Amino acid sequence: MDALTALLSEVRAEGALFGRSYLAPPWSVRFTDGPGLTMVVMLRAPGWVVPDGGAPVAVGEREIAVVTGSAPFTVADAADPRTPPDYLVLADGRCVTGDGRDIGDDLRLGPRTCGPGPEAPAAVLTGGFRVRGRVSARLLTALPPVLVVPHEGELCAVLDLVTAEIERTEPGQQAVLDRLLDLLLLTTLRIWFARPEACAPGWYRALGDPVIGPALRLMHADPAAPWTVAELAARAAVSRATFARRFTELVGESPMAYLTSWRLSLAADLLARTDATVESIAHQVGYASAFALSVAFKRVHGTRPSDLRRAVPV
């Protein structure tokens, strides 16, 4: 397991809120609540993504934007990012007018599709992901509020699959759309992180390093193992000093600091989502006892594991 795979493990499309809008200029659509991460594809005609409180971001035709966070945002006509919205998209995927009324049959064209008709000059596809836990939060903190990736290379084939599938109404379609949306996100992020303007996080750049990349994969694949700098350096066939220096230069923190942060993120998610005892979770993430996990948790997060579990809403 590499770092990107691990961080995406809790960013999943399950019952994905796919939506397609056909629009005539001047147009805009407002999303009142982001699910945590939203993909916006300008299928036909360029436009803007306008996060609340942020500057508009231009998105070209057939380009893909990824919007992070749960704050409201607007997708607008290329002519003017301030265009009032044609309708609002709610957190549950329903489309309503500005005063909260259902958009009605005139604009509802079928499952997941709204607008005056497929002949409209603009078409926008959106898909929302729910993002859970501290592990996934590590990915979101590495992304800007809005990132844009051109429609090129392998992304073309994935996007073509998505747009073809959304036209259908067949058994199992939701499951197919969920997996296609997962694939679209992963492909988009790989392309984004490879671009020079992306400022990819250290852990991502380090994945391609012949010495540090394998060590990161070992830590992610088996966080409970009793890893030491000496053991990881031996696996990488370099000296302890060389390994520690190179890891810190590439990742931005020492090997043991990175491992501790990763283990505690995993522990936090297990505390929030399972009924496992603190002792059991401690062993799963590489601590000898509940006390040892509690000490590390208190030092890094300022709270005890049991306090975090009590704070999770039922």
Percent of the chain with pLDDT over 90: 36
Average pLDDT over residues 281-301: 92
Same domain, 49 and 154: yes
* Domain enclosing residue 29, as ranges: 3-198
Same domain, yes or no, for 80 and 180?
yes
In this structure, what CATH number is given to the domain that contains residue 270?
1.10.10.60
Query: How many domains, the chain?
Result: 2
**Letter string b/e over residues 117-139, b meaning 16 or more CB atoms within 10 A of that residue's CB:** eeebebbbbbbbbbbbbbbbbbb
Average pLDDT over residues 216-238: 94
DSSP assigned state of 83:
P
pLDDT in tens, 48-59: 999 998 899 999
CB 37 within 8 A of CB 140: yes
The neighbour count for residue 233, using CB atoms within 10 Å, is 21
| pLDDT at 224 exceeding the cut of 70 | yes
Do residues 218 and 130 share a domain?
no
Residues 221 and 170 in one domain: no
**Contact yes or no for 81/100 (Cβ under 8 A):** no
Same domain, 104 and 224: no
Q: Which of 174, 198, 222 is the last residue of a domain?
A: 198
For the entire predicted model, the pTM comes to 0.74
Mean pLDDT, residues 245-271: 93
Average pLDDT, the chain: 83
97-115 pLDDT, tens digit each: 776 676 665 566 566 677 7
